[in-house]
């Protein structure tokens, strides 16, 4: 189950040759993760809050195309959206609206829905909102705790106060970027030893396995007492956005099927690497990912 509290409608105007193209998609971190998990042949239940207005209605129809089992709470406040223009592989924001904060009543309904679906799942991914302030951090603590102590492992890709909140749950897997660790004052992203130390501190505070993505540098994975650099093959970059979400999705897809953590990390790294070779977030093919997995190496960095 992917918990995605506030998915968005994404509108992209792309200049292709002389004629512009218009692309409409469901978007947001949770959707991009769910899309990749589905591409890896793992069925996904997608729990979200959707508006009853025009944007929410369009989102509902787009979810049908994604092949997800949508479980949604509807509210009068409409869903969020953004419009981007893309020229020469560069994105420019035209306009955006992240949506309205989670309210007391719709929050209670969303919690009950996500709890019910999460208890039936083999693993639950807790994803964030485009504007983190729209969802209270303690929502993640309550939901994650209730799921984890009743048998559903938790994976999360969050930062800031929301990462702090989910650590109380003792999640099985955490993915975070070195940029987010740096912004939170937990690590110097230019210092590999500092990144490793921060990942170990996240473990000390409750996380199981921690993977730190580092843009063009090899990710750092801390599995138990072992630390690895995750080395991936060099491929041409079309769009670096979404690589971290695809990495999280690849890890979760393997864990959902009972796979081992190191195999999950390799698959996640392959999914993230392939994602940057094309336009489209959370995009990938299972057969291509399977081939790239064979080229991913977990190189021991240190042990204790």
Q: What whole-number distance in Å separates Cα of residue 235 and Cα of residue 219?
A: 16
**Residue 264 binned pLDDT confidence (cut-offs 50, 70, 90):** very high
Q: In the CATH scheme, what is the code of domain 174-304? A: 3.40.1190.20
- Contact between 170 and 155 under an 8 Å Cβ cutoff? The reply is no
Would you state the pLDDT for residue 241? 61
Q: What is the pTM of this model?
A: 0.91
Helix, coil or strand: residue 71: strand
Q: Measured between alpha carbons, how far is 175 from 262 in angstroms, rounded to an integer? A: 14
Q: What pLDDT does 234 receive?
A: 79
CB 187 within 8 A of CB 198: yes
> For residues 69 and 1, what is the distance between their CA atoms, to the nearest angstrom?
9
Which one, of 172, 176, 174, lies nearest residue 186 by Cα? 176
pLDDT tens string 41-99 = 999 999 999 999 999 999 999 998 888 899 999 999 999 999 999 877 678 899 999 99
Q: DSSP labels for 49-71?
A: EEESSHHHHHHHHHHHHHT-EEE
Least confident of 18-22, 77-81, 93-97, 175-179: 18-22
How many residues comprise the chain? Answer: 304
Residue 162: CB atoms within 10 Å: 24
What is the reported pLDDT for 237?
Answer: 58
Query: Does the pLDDT of residue 19 top 70, yes or no?
Result: yes
φ/ψ region of 258 (left if φ > 0, alpha if ψ in -120 to 50, else beta) reads left
CATH class of 1-171: alpha beta
| Chain segment 189-218, per-residue pLDDT in tens | 889 999 999 999 999 999 999 999 998 889
Question: Which two structure tokens, joined as six digits, stand for 86?
Answer: 């893309």
Q: Which residue has the tokens 């994803």?
A: 127
CA distance 116 to 119: 6
In sequence order, the β-bridge partners of residue 80 are 8
Share of the chain above pLDDT 70, in %: 93
Let me know if the fold of 1-171 is the same as that of 174-304. yes
Main-chain phi, psi angles of 79, to 5 degrees? -75, 160
Would the pLDDT of 136 be above 80? Answer: yes
Helices 137-148/160-167 angle, 10° precision: 30
What DSSP string describes 124-184?
A: EEE---SSGGGS-HHHHHHHHHHHHTTT--EEE---HHHHHHHHTT--SEEEEEHHHHHHT
Q: What is the pLDDT of residue 304?
A: 43
Q: Do 125 and 1 meet the contact criterion of CB atoms below 8 Å apart? A: yes
CA atoms of 176 and 154, how far apart (whole Å): 14
Q: What average pLDDT does the structure give for the chain?
A: 91
Distance CA 226, CA 304 (A): 7
Angle at 140 between CA 210 and CA 201, to 5 degrees: 30
- Domains in the chain: boundaries: 1-171, 174-304
């Amino acid at each position: 189950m992917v918990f995605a509290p506030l998915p968005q409608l994404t509108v992209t105007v792309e200049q292709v040759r002389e004629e512009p193209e218009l692309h409409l998609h469901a978007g947001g971190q949770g959707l991009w993760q769910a899309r990749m998990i589905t591409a890896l042949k793992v069925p996904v239940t997608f729990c979200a809050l959707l508006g009853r207005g025009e944007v929410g209605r369009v989102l509902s129809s787009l979810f049908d195309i994604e092949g997800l089992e949508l479980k949604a709470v509807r509210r009068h406040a409409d869903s969020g959206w953004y419009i981007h223009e893309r020229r020469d592989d560069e994105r420019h924001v035209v306009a955006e609206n992240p949506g309205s904060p989670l309210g007391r009543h719709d929050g209670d309904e969303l919690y009950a829905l996500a709890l019910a679906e999460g208890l039936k799942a083999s693993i639950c991914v807790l994803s964030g909102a485009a504007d983190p302030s729209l969802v209270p951090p303690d929502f993640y603590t309550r939901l994650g705790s209730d799921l984890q102590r009743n048998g559903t492992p938790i994976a999360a890709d969050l930062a800031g106060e929301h990462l702090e909140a989910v650590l109380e749950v003792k999640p099985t897997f955490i993915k975070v970027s070195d940029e987010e660790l740096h912004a939170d004052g937990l690590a110097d992203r230019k210092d590999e030893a500092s990144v490793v130390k921060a990942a170990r501190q996240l473990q000390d505070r409750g996380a199981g396995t921690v993977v730190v993505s580092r843009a063009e540098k090899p990710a750092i994975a801390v599995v138990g007492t072992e630390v690895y650099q995750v080395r991936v093959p060099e491929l041409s970059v079309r769009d670096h956005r979404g690589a971290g979400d695809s990495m999280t999705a690849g890890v979760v897809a393997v864990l959902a099927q009972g796979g081992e953590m190191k195999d999950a990390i390799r698959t996640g790294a392959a999914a993230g690497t392939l994602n940057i070779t094309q336009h489209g977030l959370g995009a990938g093919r299972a057969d291509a990912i399977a081939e790239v997995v064979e080229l991913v190496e977990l190189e021991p960095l240190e042990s204790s």
